[in-house]
Amino acid sequence: MVSRRDFGKMVLATVPASAAWSAPGDPALNGVQVGVDTYSFRDQVRTPGLDNVDGIIKALEFAGAREIELSSANTEPGGPNSGPAVPPPPSAYPPPITAPTPEQVAAAKLAVRNDLRRWRLATPPRNHEAVRAKFQAAGMSLFAYRVDYDEQFTDEEIEVTFQQAKALGVRVMAWPTTLGGARRLAPFAEKHEMTVALHNTANVNDPNAIATPQSFRTALAISKNFRLNLDIGHFTAANFEAVAFIQENHAGISHIQLKDRTRNGGTNEQFGEGDTPIKDVLTLIKEKKLPIPVFIEYEYLGLGTPQEEVRKCLGFVKAALA
């Protein structure tokens, strides 16, 4: 019998860099809808003040992905590599080697956050209609719009993100959030008749986190429009059993995030190297014909570029479903 880790090693050793990926619906996927979360490309270099949709499309084309969970970070200006720099300390030439103070760092982060809020509130929906058109022209399908919620969101910002999702043509919004955040989202989900998929974490020690089966039940009871975006990597790191949970609760799951983590709050690993039963979950979905799409979320530290590593992950998934 081939172990999960041995299977992963065999797959990764046999996937050439030029391997073509099959689009959703290809018989090789055995009816399982497979895609990529564009959060996987979060480290892609950004141009300050602009989105990076064109770059994301190129990355997806290289990886061979056609089904997408689109991260709001890709449609908005900013991102990890594009915000204004932390202000340097006052200096004459040559500048002294002095780190910015915590106050300067906090002020810079606040400025970036406020700029993003202003952009959201001032940008009309047609901006996201144009984004949708770009993906359609590339032959790509948008399944969900992922918005990384923070406690600084105003009601106006939440409203705008739902309008963005409608302009993108999606009916599912994925929100990594808390129980408190879910309560704020409920009236917006119901107003816009949008499915809100709550993305779980592995933080079982936080009573406000959506991390345990009990917290899932609490969260889903808040609104009839809520479903679970089950991250099986986080679920495994929290020491729960993904296959059994999916068997019993598949009706409440909108889609699944694929990543491989180790137990006991452990690290992200290459697919097949951690404790997450990715192959077993995919087999369950295939054999039971569960209508649950799965999306690669690249988070481990790979040796290649994100698009190269995502292609390897897709190769693992394809082999698991063969």
Q: How confident is the model at residue 45 (pLDDT cuts 50, 70, 90)?
A: confident
Residue 23 pLDDT > 50, yes or no? Answer: no
Q: If you average pLDDT over residues 180-207, what whole number do you get?
A: 98
Q: How confident is the model at residue 84 (pLDDT cuts 50, 70, 90)?
A: very low
Q: Which residues pair with 268 in a beta bridge?
A: 261
Residue 163 has φ and ψ, to the nearest 5°, of -65, -40
Beta-carbon contacts of 123 under 8 Å, excluding residues fewer than 6 positions away, are 160
Residue 86 pLDDT > 70, yes or no? Answer: no
Q: CA-CA distances (angstroms) from residue 27 to 10, 194, 206, 312?
A: 22, 31, 42, 19
Report the C-alpha gap between 117 and 153 in whole angstroms: 8
Residue 104 pLDDT > 70, yes or no? Answer: yes
Residue 17 pLDDT > 70, yes or no? Answer: no
Write the pLDDT tens digit of every residue in 250-268: 999 999 999 999 999 999 9
- Per-residue model confidence (pLDDT) at position 6: 53
Residue 112 pLDDT > 80, yes or no? Answer: yes
Write the pLDDT tens digit of every residue in 161-173: 999 999 999 999 9
Question: If you average pLDDT over every residue of the chain, what do you get?
Answer: 89
- Per-residue model confidence (pLDDT) at position 15: 40
Omega of the bond leading into 94 within 30 degrees of 0 (cis)? yes
Write the pLDDT tens digit of every residue in 267-284: 999 999 999 999 999 999
Residue 28 pLDDT > 60, yes or no? Answer: no
Q: Could you give all domains of the chain from N- to C-terminal order, each with its CATH number?
A: 4-14+25-83+100-321 (3.20.20.150)
Residues of the chain with pLDDT > 90, as a percent, come to 78
Instruction: Give the β-pairing of 260-261 and 268-269.
Output: antiparallel
